[in-house]
Amino acid sequence: MTALVLDTSAFIMGFNPSKTAEAYSVEAVEVELSEGTMPQLRFRMFREKGELTVRAPSLRAQTIVDDASSRAGESGYLSKADREVLALAVDLKLDGREPIIVSDDYAIQNLADHLQIEHGSLANFGIVHRFRWIMYCPACYRRYQPPEKKCRICGTELRRKVLSKASASRC
C-alpha cells in the first residue's frame, strides 16, 4: 500500500493529503512551520481530521538515515525534520508499505534516492541526478567528509563538490 510521507515543503506548497493514500509526517515538521501560518494550520487540521498520521521514526531507521547521509555526503545539510521524514519513510518501507516522500528539498530527494525510496516534488521538477558529495580545501586540495567545515591543515573554509553522480529514479 502506498504511504505518502510529507515534508515541511509539502505543507508550505498547500498539499492536500488525499484519502486514496495514507499520509504521514513527523512532529519536527510542525515545529519547522512558522507559528500561526496557513501551512501550520493545514498540518494541524489534517492531523485532527485523521487524514495525517504523525509518527516518530524508530531509532533503527534514524541510524540507517544517518549512515546513508554520511556515505552520500549530506551530513550537516539536513535538518532534524528532514532526517526524521526520511527515517519515517524507511520505517514504512520496512513495514512493507511503499512510501513516497513529498518534498521539494533536493537534499531529501537525493538521500531518498540513495535509500531507494520514491520521492515526488510539488513546486520543482525534482532531482535528475543522485549525488555523492565531498568537502575539499580550495587552498591545499585535501578532501574531507561532510559536515567538516574547515581544513585541519591550513584552516581554509572548505567547499562542497560532487564526488560522483548517477541517474535518479523518478516518481
Instruction: Report pLDDT for 129.
Output: 65
Residue 64 to residue 58: CA distance in whole angstroms: 10
DSSP of 14-81: T----TTSEEEE-HHHHHHSPTTSHHHHHHHHHHHTTS-EE-PPPHHHHHHHHHHHHHHT-TTSS-HH
Q: What is the pTM of this model?
A: 0.77
d(CA 7, CA 10): 5
Per-residue confidence (pLDDT) for residue 3, from 0 to 100: 94
What pLDDT, on the 0 to 100 scale, is given for residue 70?
86
CATH of domain 2-120: 3.40.50.1010
Return the residue matching grid coordinates 519547522.
32
Q: What is the mean pLDDT of each run of 10 residues along the chain (171 residues)?
A: 93 82 94 93 93 97 94 85 97 96 90 92 65 81 81 87 69 49
